[in-house]
């Protein structure tokens, strides 16, 4: 008769292995080439005067699917694009809901914000041409993106396999706050803060054999090492960083998230060589973390999304009449668009805004905000949720314009509201824009079980 010790010992060993391995996750990845055919007008710089005719680095859409032991799933989609639009992401989410049964809050879309990618239908367009031919091409590429996003999500779900997930943080130092020099020109002699966020979150997804299957990482910096003078298709530094990581870990998929980099600029910049240098340096820092000790993530996957309305300041019809006659192509386009909306009885007074939260375990949380979010937001949420390992991404689910903090709004300038002309938006947001964004973000985080205790303590004072 057996004493039972071998069975108990084996059971203990299995439990210990499971504890080291973490929650019983499954993970899958998908990727698709989204490089457009040339010649093609690129998005991001209004200074370009001709289409791009060469490819410096191919563009990709990628998806990371995660599933916990209870069957809860989340999907993270990343693309080498200037941004994503609500029209595209909502249609893809609708298709995925029909095919895979996923709710909208389970799917996160993020764009790397490369300024060397094609225009994205319908609103992310700065080509200095307005032709039926180009309009048709942009719409066709938009339909292509929808198909590719749906495909990579399907690939990721179809390749789900047992996996572990771990995380850590490192730092990168090539981002600078570009507002300091801009404001110095507008208001010489005054001193302005120039915050940056050097943190680089790193999430490693490993197979049962310990091999690296995916690396999710991010950085708060405009993806603009390449300027308008380098008129070629490219994923810029983020694309080169992903390429270097996939070379470092053969068989893996590197997924980049741009964080709150609305007012952050790489330095130095201006050439393909510098884009490669910054990208490979970032990849080297991330790879060092991936090869080292990382905290295991365990617990349920949870997700929520909150929508709010960001209001625009009121403008008169007369101001748009004058703008429509401007010699500036983009001002004239905005003026005509606003006049058409007024004539149709539907003046644009606000825009819908998404804030999405995903818990990737007990204390690792991804907060995804729409628009070109300035760095103040990531720094604020880090202070408000000190006990969380928080990743705050911008450029998620919809890029409708710059999202200034109250500080940036009061300082004025490009990110405060002047840039909204290039998004064909009415103008500046009202001064409560930060309050509206943070209220939605706090709500999404609360929906997945994380309350802002420091916010409550401030209310009590």
pLDDT reading at 439 higher than 90: yes
pLDDT digits (tens, 9 = 90+) for 337-365: 999 999 999 999 999 999 999 999 999 99
Mean local confidence (pLDDT), 406-417: 96
pLDDT at 185 over 90: no
Q: What distance in Å separates the CA atoms of residue 438 and residue 453, rounded to the nearest whole number?
A: 14
In terms of residue numbers, what domain contains 319? Answer: 315-343
459: phi > 0 → left, psi -120 to 50 → alpha, else beta; which? alpha
Q: Are residues 243 and 334 in the same domain?
A: no
Residue 6 covered by a domain: no
Q: Average pLDDT in the 316-339 region?
A: 96
Residue 14 lies in a domain: no
Is residue 35 a part of any domain in this protein?
A: yes
The answer to whether position 338 is within a domain reads yes
Residue 281 sits in the same domain as residue 231:
yes
| 457 vs 164: CA distance, rounded Å | 37
Last residue of a domain, one of 386, 402, 418: 402
Residue 320 and residue 262 in one domain:
no
Task: Indicate whether 419 belongs to any domain.
Answer: no
Percent of the chain with pLDDT over 90: 89
- One domain, residues 139 and 213: yes
Q: Is residue 454 part of a domain?
A: no
Same domain, 67 and 31: yes
**Residue 162 pLDDT > 90, yes or no?**
yes
Summarised one tens digit per residue, pLDDT across range 208-260 is 999 999 999 999 999 999 999 999 999 999 999 999 999 999 999 999 999 99
DSSP-derived letter for residue 124 is B
Is residue 417 domain-resident? Answer: no
Q: Could you give the number of structural domains in the chain?
A: 2
Question: Same domain for 166 and 274?
Answer: yes
Q: Final residue of a domain: which of 402, 423, 441? A: 402
Is 180 found in the same domain as 146? Answer: yes
Task: Examine the domain organization and report whether 73 and 124 are in the same domain.
Answer: yes
Residues 107 and 233 in one domain: yes
Q: What is the pLDDT of residue 453?
A: 76
* Both structure tokens of 273: 């060589």
154 and 230 housed in the same domain? yes
pLDDT the model gives residue 16: 38
Residue-level pLDDT at 18: 41
Residues 250 and 320 in one domain: no
Say what the pLDDT of residue 186 is: 83
Of the pLDDT bands very low, low, confident and very high (cuts 50, 70, 90), residue 182 is confident
Q: What is the pLDDT of residue 457?
A: 53
The per-residue pLDDT for range 9-66, each reduced to its tens digit, is: 443 333 334 434 445 799 999 999 999 999 999 999 999 999 999 999 999 999 999 9
Q: What pLDDT shows up at residue 14? A: 38
Give residue 130's pLDDT: 83
From 2-6, 122-126, 134-138, 310-314, the region with the lowest mean pLDDT: 2-6
Direct distance between the N- and C-terminal alpha carbons of the chain, in angstroms, rounded to an integer = 69
Token duo for residue 97: 């809901």
What pLDDT score was predicted for residue 233? 98
Mean per-residue pLDDT, 406-434: 97
Based on the fold, state whether residues 363 and 382 are members of the same structural domain: yes
Reading the block at residue 148, the tokens are 């590719």
> Is 36 domain-assigned?
yes
Q: How many CB atoms lie within 10 A of CB 60?
A: 24
Q: Is the pLDDT of residue 450 over 70?
A: yes
């Amino acid at each position: 008769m057996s004493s039972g010790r071998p069975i108990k010992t084996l059971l203990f060993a299995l439990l210990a292995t499971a504890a080291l391995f973490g929650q019983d996750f499954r993970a899958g990845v998908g990727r698709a080439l989204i490089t457009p055919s040339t010649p093609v007008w690129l998005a991001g710089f209004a200074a370009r005067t001709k289409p791009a005719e060469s490819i410096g680095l191919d563009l990709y859409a990628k998806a990371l699917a995660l599933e916990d032991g209870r069957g809860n799933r989340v999907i993270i989609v990343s693309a080498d694009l200037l941004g994503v639009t609500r029209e595209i992401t909502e249609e893809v989410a609708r298709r995925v809901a029909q095919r895979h049964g996923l709710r909208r809050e389970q799917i996160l879309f993020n764009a790397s914000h490369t300024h060397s990618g094609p225009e994205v239908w319908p609103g992310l367009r700065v080509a200095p041409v307005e032709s039926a031919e180009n309009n048709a091409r942009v719409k066709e590429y938009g339909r292509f993106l929808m198909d590719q996003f749906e495909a990579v999500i399907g690939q990721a779900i179809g390749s789900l396999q047992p996996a572990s997930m771990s995380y850590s943080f490192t730092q990168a130092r090539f981002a600078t706050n570009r507002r300091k020099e801009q404001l110095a020109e507008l208001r010489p002699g005054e001193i302005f803060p120039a915050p940056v966020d050097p943190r680089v979150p790193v999430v490693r997804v490993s197979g049962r054999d310990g091999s690296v299957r995916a690396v999710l990482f991010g950085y708060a910096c405009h993806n603009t090492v390449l300027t308008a003078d380098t008129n070629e298709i490219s994923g810029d530094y983020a694309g080169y960083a992903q390429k270097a990581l996939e070379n470092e870990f053969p068989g893996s998929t590197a997924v980049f998230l741009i964080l709150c980099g609305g007012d952050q600029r790489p330095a130095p910049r201006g050439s393909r060589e510098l884009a490669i240098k910054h990208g490979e340096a970032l990849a080297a820092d991330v790879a060092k973390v991936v090869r080292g000790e990382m905290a295991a993530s365990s617990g349920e996957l949870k997700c929520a999304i909150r929508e709010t309305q960001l209001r625009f300041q009121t403008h008169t019809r007369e101001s748009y009449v004058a703008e429509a006659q401007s010699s500036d192509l983009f001002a004239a386009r905005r003026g005509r668009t606003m006049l058409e909306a007024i004539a149709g009885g539907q003046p644009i007074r606000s825009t819908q805004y998404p804030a999405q939260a995903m818990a990737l375990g007990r204390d690792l949380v991804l907060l995804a905000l729409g628009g070109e979010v300035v760095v103040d937001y990531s720094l604020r949420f880090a202070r408000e949720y000190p006990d969380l390992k928080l990743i705050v991404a911008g450029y998620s689910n919809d890029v409708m314009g710059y999202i200034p903090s109250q500080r940036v709004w009061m300082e004025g300038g490009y990110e405060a509201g002047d840039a909204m002309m290039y998004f064909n938006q009415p103008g500046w947001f009202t001064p409560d824009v930060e309050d509206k964004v943070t209220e939605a973000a706090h709500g999404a985080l609360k929906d997945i079980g994380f309350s802002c205790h420091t916010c409550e303590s401030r209310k009590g004072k």
